[in-house]
């Protein structure tokens, strides 16, 4: 099976010698859905940012879709990320001055897609997730669960090849968290995606193809 993401001996050291990622090597194949579990301070967020090209490793190599992300300049990495990644975070990071429809359409706005096309696409995404009723609501007027549904819609609208999930069940009830993960696993579009969930809980662990533990910047694959 073809590799979609490959890390080779990746290290990330911050100022004062603080190591966040320590010699991580990792291969994730196309269409795989993977859980990376770690407690607070384990390096999860740093690892996600390295894969997404939001940070540059201190040493080692990061390849995504056969591209050397670690060698990209920041503007090139941003364009690559916008075309190929969908990122869902526990804090939705919506523009408060925009309604949900406009927020969901934002990735297409960045790409310069015509207004009519991006609004049509945003409506379709919200409808698919049962959230069309809230299209004209503003971020402060919706629940945490609705915000995560909208985040999924926004992440998928650009038809990404890689989906990164950062603590997406944080702040949700157990039932809501299970529903969100069910959507992530079951929605038709995700069948051709690489999905990597970074979590401080072992969310519905048997749903994932593979499961890793990250501890003090070191990664280890676990047996499901």
Q: Supply the DSSP symbol for 115.
A: H
pLDDT of residue 115 exceeding 60, the answer is yes
Report the predicted TM-score, pTM, of the whole model to 2 decimal places. Answer: 0.91
| Mean of per-residue pLDDT scores for the chain | 90
The whole-number pLDDT of residue 207 equals 80
Query: Where do the domains of the chain lie, and which CATH numbers do they carry?
Result: 3-222 (3.40.50.300)
What would the pLDDT profile of 147-206 be if each residue is shown by its tens digit?
A: 999 999 999 999 999 999 998 888 888 899 888 888 888 775 566 789 999 998 887 777
What would the pLDDT profile of 15-64 be if each residue is shown by its tens digit?
A: 775 668 999 999 999 989 999 999 888 889 999 999 999 999 999 999 99
Average pLDDT over residues 78-105: 91
The whole-number pLDDT of residue 201 equals 85
Q: What angle do CA 66, 88, 143 make, to 5 degrees?
A: 170
Phi, then psi, of 164 in degrees rounded to 5? -110, 130
Question: What proportion of the chain, given as a percentage, has pLDDT over 70?
Answer: 96
The whole-number pLDDT of residue 189 equals 55
pLDDT of residue 92 exceeding 90, the answer is no
User: What DSSP assignment string belongs to 29-85?
Assistant: ETT-EEEEE--TTSSHHHHHHHHTTSS--SEEEEEETTEEGGG--HHHHHHHHHHHE
Question: What proportion of the chain, given as a percentage, has pLDDT over 90?
Answer: 69
The whole-number pLDDT of residue 170 equals 84
Burial code of 104-134, b = ≥16 C-beta within 10 A, e = fewer?
Answer: bbbbbeeeebeeeebbebbbebbebbebbeb
Q: Which of helix, strand or coil describes residue 135?
A: coil
Q: How many C-beta atoms surround the C-beta of residue 136 within 10 A?
A: 11
């Amino acid at each position: 099976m073809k590799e979609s993401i490959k890390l080779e001996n990746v290290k990330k050291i911050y100022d004062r010698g603080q190591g966040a990622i320590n010699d991580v090597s990792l291969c994730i194949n196309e269409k795989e859905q993977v859980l990376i579990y770690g407690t607070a301070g384990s390096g999860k967020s740093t690892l996600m940012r390295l894969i997404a090209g939001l940070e540059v490793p201190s040493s080692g190599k990061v390849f995504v879709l056969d591209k050397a992300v670690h060698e990209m300049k920041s503007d090139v990495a941003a364009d690559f990320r916008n075309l190929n990644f969908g990122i869902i975070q526990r804090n939705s990071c919506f523009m408060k001055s925009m309604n949900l429809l406009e927020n969901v359409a934002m990735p297409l706005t960045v790409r310069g897609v015509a207004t009519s096309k991006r609004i049509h696409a945003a409506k379709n995404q919200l409808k698919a997730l049962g959230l069309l009723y809230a299209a004209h609501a503003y971020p402060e007027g919706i629940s945490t669960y609705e915000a995560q549904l909208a985040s999924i819609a926004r992440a998928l609208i650009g038809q990404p090849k890689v989906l990164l999930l950062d603590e997406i069940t944080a702040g949700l009830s157990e039932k809501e968290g299970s529903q969100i993960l069910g959507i992530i696993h079951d929605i038709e579009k995700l069948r051709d995606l690489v999905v990597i969930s970074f979590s401080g809980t072992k969310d519905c662990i048997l749903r994932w193809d593979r499961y890793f533990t990250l501890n003090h910047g070191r990664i280890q694959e676990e047996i499901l």
